[in-house]
Structure formats: C-alpha cells, structure tokens
Amino acid sequence: MTVNVDSAVQQLIEVAIAAAGNAYIPYSNYPVGAGLRALDGTIYSGCNVENASYPVTICGERTALVKAVSEGRRQFDLLVVATRNAGSPCGMCRQMLYEFAPNLRVITVDMDGNIHTDVLLTDLLLDGFGPDRLPR
C-alpha cells in the first residue's frame, strides 16, 4: 500500500532520519532525530546529545528548537521526530515546544520513514502551561 504524504512532510522525515545519524548516544544507544519547520519555511534539524553526567543530555527535539530560536525563529508549524520505534517527544520537550508553538503538528516516524502518529502538540500536552499564564 502506498501512502500519499505531502512533500513538506516527506522532506522533514528525511531531515529527521538524517539527523538521527548524528546522535551522540554512547549511553542509551537510542538515536533521536528531529526536523522542525519554522513558519517562514526554514527547516532545522536536531539530534540527541548525551553526556556522562546523564541529566545534562539534550533531546533531539530541543536541539532543533534551540537551534531555531537562537537563529531568530519563534514560530513553528511542523515537527517530525524519528526514532527506531517512533517514540513520542518526552514531557520536557513537549513543554519547551509549547512555549513557542502550542498548535504544532507533531509526526513520529520510524527509521524507515513510516508515520506512526500525526497529532497536535495540544493533544500531547493537555491544558499546557504557556506564556499567557504569566502576567507581563
């Protein structure tokens, strides 16, 4: 069966899988790759980067997000995460993404590019705590 996937999604799937190839994972051996699209169309990749002091590890999704924000992007519409078993973003990544893009579309794929889930971040983080909760 062939599944028709739009070309923007297909491009991000390829970015995410390629990024997983750069994962620095001596401890978990669990590669994660991310492809994040900013509203202006710029695409950012990310991978997990582990550390001998385990909690210092950064996830693939947050790597991509921090790269993008540090280059001036603050609005995003699409994230693809690639892992061997199509794992979904962890709670910390959900929260950090929610700050900038509560309506983000989040797609998880395996390393063959098969889509497992295609949801909104608001479904992954119900009643999320965002910037509008704090007085300016």
From the CB of 62, what's the least distance to ligand THU, in Å? 8
- Which residues in the 107-136 window bind ligand THU by CB under 6 A? none
Q: Are 37 and 12 in contact (CB under 8 A)?
A: yes
Among 30, 69, 86, 95, binds ligand THU (CB under 6 A): 30
By CB under 6 A, how many residues form the interface with ligand THU?
14
Q: What mask, x for binding ligand THU by CB under 6 A, covers residues 43 to 72?
A: -----x-x------x-xxx-----------
Edge-to-edge strands, sheet with 115-120: 43-47, 33-38, 76-82, 105-109, 115-120
Question: In angstroms, what is the minimal distance from the CB of 73 to ligand THU?
Answer: 20
- The structure tokens listed for 108 are 């998880």
Residue 50 is a catalytic residue: no
Q: How far apart are the first and last CA of the chain?
A: 51
Point out the catalytic residue in the list 14, 50, 61, 71. Answer: 61
Burial 30-40 (b: 16+ CB within 10 A, else e): ebbbbbbbbee
Identify which of residues 9 and 32 has a Cβ nearer to ligand THU in the complex.
32
Token pair listed for 120: 């909104």
> What are the beta bridge partners of residue 127?
none
Minimum CB separation from ligand THU for residue 11, in Å?
A: 21
The H or E element spanning position 94 is: helix 91-100
- What residues act catalytically? 61
Catalog residues that contact ligand THU under the rule CB under 6 A: 25, 28, 30, 32, 48, 50, 57, 59-61, 87, 89-90, 93
